[in-house]
Structure 1
Amino acid sequence: MRSVLLGVSLCVLAGCATVSVVPGEASFETSLSKGQSELREASNAYCDEVVQAGWVEETGGIASLADTLMHGKTEVAGRAGFYATRIGAETKAPALVLGRIVADSQAARIGLSGVTGEAETLLRNRDKNASNRADVMSYERALVRAQMAHRGFQEALDLVSVRADMDVKPIAAEIEQFAVMIDDARTIADRLAERYVAGGTAGS
């Protein structure tokens, strides 16, 4: 299932979201329910927020995304990443950097919570065809962005910690909460994907 979701995510960012994997799906997607539309809107809005807030670099391409998903790579080894550089993790006053990290992590976590709430609402829908390809792709794309943001926060914390003469455990705990939320959201994404596949198979 993970390889399926990887392909789905890459497909979204490559601009091939029009490919149909279930016969007759195109006609089904022309009459989307309100809940489905809200999940996609929330996911897309979160992806925009992650970039606009400066947590993740807008560019990077498919190869960078593949490394993020499969190997956890986000930046060139030995060089501070986009987020850490942007907030001055190696240069600015540690107290200011740490405050920025915790505030950004909290905002990213709250935003993802809202998107996941829409996904959970969709899962509660009793219609066996409630999940479709567009929902799965948009939600998975939001999770990829969240994962990239989390790694940026963690890297920045690691860099500033060596200079900070203060307890960074509360900040580390906040970032860990974000990581746990992402893991939980992945489980929901898997359930959405499974429901979508099962619904498509039943209707074929």
Structure 2
Amino acid sequence: MSRPLAFLAFLTLAPLGGCATVSVYEAVSAEVSLTEDQSELRKAADAYCKIARDKGLATGEASLTALADMLTGNNDNAGAYWKKIGADKAAPASTVTRVRADLNASAKGLTDLTVLANSLLKTTKPTRSDVQEFERALIHARQSRDSFSDALVQANKRSEREYQILLELGPMDAALAKARSAADELAAVRAQELSTAQASS
């Protein structure tokens, strides 16, 4: 398959994989309140995203240009997580130790965020920003997972023993599964609330 066709195929199939969460789209003017600005979930999600970006684990963005560069092999890896931690130069064991520490921290952060989201669902109704910020954190988490995988691949290239990447990614995958479920529930509750409000107006 030619690269242009592969690119089109990727764009066509990409929405079918990963998280099944459907964002709740609503007008910006639909809700702007002090409560929304002070949401603990929003603050925690924003902090999670910032940590992921600062470590080089995620960008939170997936532009068409970035996807095209990836498929054509025109990637600039200067800012990649594996490059930042020297996974292509450091001793494989040291790289894996570093990845495990960062991965466990990222998985714990996502788990804590999911607990906060579930707690919010039991006590109040999620705001538009709650839904959007949690989904943004989920995007950062998925990108972080990919970054950890890339770093482990680099370690395996020079290691005498082969590290089991899927096993190493286990804690992150478990946290992602629970976060996806929470994101779906947040979106569903928000959509139901909007539907009820529109029906009564």
TM-score with structure 2 length normalisation?
0.74
Following TM superposition, by how much is the alpha carbon of 1:188 offset from its aligned partner in structure 2, in angstroms? 0.9
| CA distance in structure 1 between the aligned counterparts of 2:121 and 2:113, rounded to whole angstroms | 13
SS at match of 1:154: helix
Instruction: Give the Cα–Cα distance (whole angstroms) in 1 for the partners of residues 65 and 42 of structure 2.
Output: 20
Alpha carbons 1:157, 1:172 under 8 Å: kept: no
Question: Cα distance 1:162–1:179, how it changes in 2: closer, same or farther (>3 A)?
Answer: same
Corresponding residue of 1:48: 50
Which residue is equivalent to 1:14? none
Gaps of 5+ in 2: 1-18
Could you give the per-residue CA deviations for residues 39-90 of structure 1, whole angstroms, max 9, x where no partner exists? 001100101111123323x5x85516995xxxxx978748584011111222
CA-CA distance at 1:183 after TM superposition: 2.2
The 1-side partners of 2:50 and 2:71 are apart by 20
**Residue 187 of structure 1: aligned partner:** 181
- 1:32 pairs, out of 35, 42, 50, with 35
Judging changes above 3 Å, is the alpha-carbon distance between structure 1 residues 93 and 160 closer, same or farther for their aligned structure 2 residues?
same
Aligned pair in 2 of structure 1 residues 74, 38: CA closer, same or farther (>3 Å)?
farther
Q: Contact between 2:57 and 2:144, CA under 8 Å: does it hold in 1?
A: yes
Identity value in percent: 29
Of 76-85 and 145-154, deviating more is: 76-85
Match of 2:111 among 100, 110, 113: 113
Residue matched to 1:19? 28
Q: Measure how far apart 1:159 and its partner are.
A: 1.8
Q: Which residue of 2 aligns with 1:176?
A: 170
The 1:66/1:140 distance shift into structure 2, 3 A limit, reads farther
Deviation at 1:18, TM superposition (A): 7.0
Q: 1:95 to 1:62 in 2, by over 3 A?
A: closer
Aligned residues: 178
Label 1:3 to 1:46 Cα distance change in 2 as closer, same or farther (>3 A): closer
* RMSD, aligned α-carbons: 3.3
CA distance in 1, matches of 2:84, 2:105: 17
Q: CA–CA distance in 2 between the matches of 1:80 and 1:65?
A: 12
**TM-score, normalising length: structure 1:** 0.73
Over 6 Å off, 4+ runs: 73-76
> 1:1-204 to 2 correspondence within 5 Å?
2=20, 4-5=22-23, 19-20=28-29, 25-26=30-31, 29-32=32-35, 37-56=39-58, 58=59, 61-63=61-63, 77=73, 81=77, 82-125=80-123, 127=124, 130-166=125-161, 168-169=163-164, 172-204=166-198
After superposition, the Cα gap between the structure-2 partners of 1:74 and 1:107, relative to the gap in structure 1 and judged at 3 Å, is farther
CA drift at 1:167? 5.3
